[in-house]
Structure 1
Amino acid sequence: MTRKWFKLGMLSMALTLTVGLTACGGGSGGDKEQAASGGKEQAVSGDDGGKKGSQKLVIYTARDKNVVEKIVPKFEELNPGIDVEVMTMGAQQIMERVRGEKANPQADFWWGGTQSSFITAANEGLLETYKPSYADSIPAEYKDAQDRWYGEMLLPEVIMYNSEALKKEDAPKDWDDLLDPKWKDQILIRGVMASGTMRTIYDAMIYRQDPASPDKGYEWLKKLDANTKEYTQDPTQLYLKLARQEGSLSLWNLQDILIQKEMQKQPFDYIYPVSGAPILVDGVGIVKDAKNMENAKKFFDFIFDEDQLKEKADKLFQIPTRTDIDKSQFPDWYKNLDTKPLNLDWTVLADKEKEWMQHWDENIKGKGGK
């Protein structure tokens, strides 16, 4: 199955360039990288795969490849007649792509992205309405009031560090500690504009300074930029450079850090910021007018299945949004986690994200040290 993903990925990337999408780089793995995995040319050509009765499912995902490679084969095993094709890219790239394909959707299911992205997509009419049987078990703040998207899991955004380069007691304890000049050229950041994870973190840093005005937040990000050694192209490069100790610190999501630490045996660990973390709701949704609607609904219900959620918590470090699951069976890392959130208005973040990130990209990136 993995081999067929690469073909779709490369073809989809070519199409992305053709239609002139502005996002570049790519997540997340985890957020959510542009490293692609996909299936057949048919998925991007809109031919036979475009029929409502087709036994096909095209997924655009910003999830880490370790997650995709564990979840998709299980779904295919339970649904042997469905041919799943996957394209992995940054969460913001998915947003741009689904928007660009609105008149002729090429994806059926959007798997993984920020609530800001999903709020924007819902408001633009890019998502289908679907209310699952377990809808009432998911809190209102983790889903769309009109059932156009649902949060699959909670994703705290934290401080990441190389545990061979730094002792835990010496690592920054809170966000403002990252601005200390002693961390100059020690911070590596995954390319921000294509990444839902990084856009969320940066938006949160602006908001926490002064919700009424972004100016203080811009100054904060300028100081962070002064300490930033490099903005890496994608998460793979971030992991590689951090492991090599080309830098010792980063900002990233908790799940992917734990996956890299426990599954890939990378020398990574995290600090949960004392003042709290932006807790991203990692969402899912069915693309409006999806060509394989019923298969998309099947996958939707599959990833929210109680047994799947328990296994993902145990094996993939996911924090589920469903509240009707017995958490006593969950692993110790989950039971011992103190998820103190930053106080954020996600509607404001969704509304201001484009403006704030464009200003950062044009006026702050690479200029903080000047």
Structure 2
Amino acid sequence: MKWRASGLMIAITLMISLLLSGCSSNGNAGGSGQKEKGPDGKKLEDTLVVYSPHGKDILGDFEKQFESKYHVDMKFLDMGSQEVLDRIRSEKNNPQADIWWGAPSELFSQAKDDGLLEKYKPSYAGALDGMFHDSDWYWTGTFKTPEVIMYNTKEVSKKGAPKDWDELLDPKWKDKIIIRYPLASGTMRTIFSAMIYRTYKDTKSPKKGYEWLKKLDANTKKYAANPEMMYNNVAKGVGPISVWDMPDVVMLKEQKGYPFDYVIPKSGTPVLTDGIAIVKNAPHLEAAKAFYEFVNTKASLKKLAEKYYRIPTRSDINQLPRWIDEADIKPMDIDWKVFKEKSNKWMEHWDQQIKSKSKSKE
């Protein structure tokens, strides 16, 4: 009996030892091996929440990559960049997101002023020009995004497509333009604000810009509630003309077979800095830092350029796709501080005084 009891104790001890060993080697969300540490050398949390307008293709791809590398359960919410800002504002006292990935720089600047962002200087800071990061490192730019005139190649010839912004006001385009509803879209808010700023910079009045937007509204057939609806309307010829960002147009044309092409406006175009930031008091701060670094590595940015048609802000990425190297872009001279100060008021005026009620968001 003594021998049997001691043998039982040995067996129990061995089982406990094996269980503890298993927990040590497999105690992560993604598989075997010890969980990698974050950029500060600290242990990562088990979860990461990302708010982003980058779409399910990019977000789903990087979710798999990040989870595989760090064994962190990444959750994302896909919505317009202005909607992200509004949501983070509403959650200020109880943050739910860790990372905000994707929005024009002026929206990040607004968030910084509202105390919604966490300061973080990334490891690749030396590869960023001053125009591609916040002076205090509350956000950094990931992509450069030129805005263009998009058209359906089955409905409009290259020769016949509008070559500049003012050509969109030609009466021949009446009821042929589809616009992404601008109040929820950082891209469209920037384009509309740029049209106002062209004359505002000299006159200090938005009046002529409002007149321009009113004429565009007269030619606009409908305002699409989200990018996918806008793409579908243009592809089907409901309205063969739109304005959007160049990388998305190239992606839709080359990767998804949409009958799209684009014109870079000859007078100049706003070139957005599309950024990334950590949310203030992020529930999973170390995982947020790891993701911030992960999506901005040379390998990630090269993949984003080749597979998802994004133009990196980092100056040390070589051998980018030809369409990036050959693009003849004339950046519009813009004071982004003015955009930050005036954009909300300008868009409120457009919504209340200019937008045709019969063309409400569809």
- What TM-score results when the alignment is normalised by the length of structure 2? 0.85
The Cα of 1:71 is off from its aligned counterpart by 2.1
**In 1, Cα distance between equivalents of 2:65 and 2:45:** 20
Matched residue SS, 2:187? helix
- Counterpart pick for 1:55 among 28, 31, 46: 46
**Which residue among 206, 209, 215 is the counterpart of 2:207?**
215
Whether the 8 Å CA contact 1:90–1:195 is kept in 2: the answer is: yes
User: Paired residue for 2:299, among 285, 295, 307?
Assistant: 307
CA drift at 1:367? 6.7
Of 53-62 and 98-107, more deviation after overlay is shown by 53-62
Following superposition, the deviation at residue 148 of structure 1 comes to 0.4
1:363 aligns with 2:353: yes
In structure 1, how many angstroms separate the alpha carbons of the residues matched to 2:44 and 2:133? 29
- C-alpha contact (below 8 Å) 1:225/1:368 kept by paired residues: no
> Cα distance 1:368–1:353, how it changes in 2: closer, same or farther (>3 A)?
farther
- Cross-structure match for 1:265: 257
Q: Distance in 2 between matches of 1:241 and 1:330?
A: 31
1:112 Cα deviation (Å)? Answer: 0.3
Q: Which stretch shifts more, 347-356 or 251-260? A: 251-260
Amino acid at match of 2:46: Q
Q: Which amino acid aligns with 1:110?
A: W
- Residue in 1 that maps onto 2:167: 177
1:32 paired residue number? none
In structure 1, the partner of 2:36 is none
Query: Could you list the runs of 5+ residues in structure 1 that have no partner in the other structure?
Result: 1-51
Rg larger in 1 or in 2?
A: 2
> Superposition pairs for residues 1-370 of structure 1, below 5 Å?
54-80=45-71, 82-211=72-201, 212-326=204-318, 329-366=319-356
Q: Secondary structure at the match of 1:294?
A: helix
Q: How far did residue 53 of structure 1 move?
A: 6.3
Tell me if the contact between 1:173 and 1:271 (Cα under 8 Å) persists in the aligned partners: yes
Do the aligned residues in 2 keep the contact of 1:64 with 1:256 (CA within 8 Å)?
A: no
C-alpha separation in 2, matches of 1:152 and 1:278 = 16
Higher mean displacement: 330-339 or 103-112: 330-339
Q: Are the aligned partners of 2:270 and 2:332 in contact in 1 as well (CA < 8 Å)?
A: yes
Given that 1:226 and 1:368 are in contact with CA atoms closer than 8 Å, whether structure 2 keeps it comes out as no
Q: Distance in 1 between matches of 2:171 and 2:256?
A: 31
CA contact (8 A) 1:190 1:235 kept: yes
Contact 1:224–1:368 (8 Å) recurs in 2: no
Greater shift, 250-259 or 353-362, is seen at 250-259
Runs of 4+ in 1 over 4 A off after TM superposition: none
The offset of 1:210, in angstroms, is: 2.4
Q: Could you tell me how far 1:90 is from its partner in structure 2?
A: 0.7
Q: How many residues align?
A: 315
CA distance in 2, matches of 1:53, 1:224: 49
Answer whether contact 1:57 1:295 (CA < 8 A) is retained.
yes
- Superposed CA deviations along residues 4-24 of structure 1, whole A, max 9, x for unmatched, are xxxxxxxxxxxxxxxxxxxxx
Deviation at 1:54? 3.4
What is the one-letter code of the residue matched to 1:337? Answer: A
Output one character per residue of 1:103-162: Cα deviation in whole Å (capped at 9) or x when no partner. Answer: 010000001001110000001110000001111211111111111001100011110100
* In structure 2, C-alpha distance between the alignment counterparts of 1:123 and 1:136, rounded to whole Å: 24
Q: Distance in 2 between matches of 1:273 and 1:338?
A: 10
2:219 is aligned with what amino acid? Answer: N
Distance 1:338 1:161 in 2: 18
Rounded Cα–Cα distance in structure 2 between residues aligned with 1:308 and 1:337? 22
1:254: Cα distance to partner? 1.0
Q: TM-score, normalised by structure 1?
A: 0.83
**Deviations 1:333-352, CA, capped at 9 Å, x for gaps:** 11111221011111100110
| Distance in 2 (alpha carbons) for counterparts of 1:76 and 1:253 | 29
- The residue type equivalent to 2:283 in the other structure is K
Q: Is the 8 A contact 2:294 2:300 kept in 1?
A: yes
Two-structure CA RMSD over aligned residues (Å): 1.4
Is the CA contact 2:103–2:274 (under 8 Å) kept in the aligned structure 1? Answer: yes
Amino-acid identity (%):
48
SS of equivalent residue, structure 2 residue 182: coil
State the shift of 1:307 in Å. 1.1
Aligned residue for 1:324, secondary structure, equals coil
Distance 1:185 1:353 in 2: 26
Distance 1:367 1:223 in 2: 15
Report if aligned partners of 1:115, 1:281 keep a CA contact under 8 Å in 2. Answer: yes
SS of residue paired to 1:277: coil
SS at match of 1:170: coil
Q: Which residue identity is paired with 2:349?
A: H
Q: Tell me whether 91-100 or 250-259 shows the greater mean CA deviation.
A: 250-259
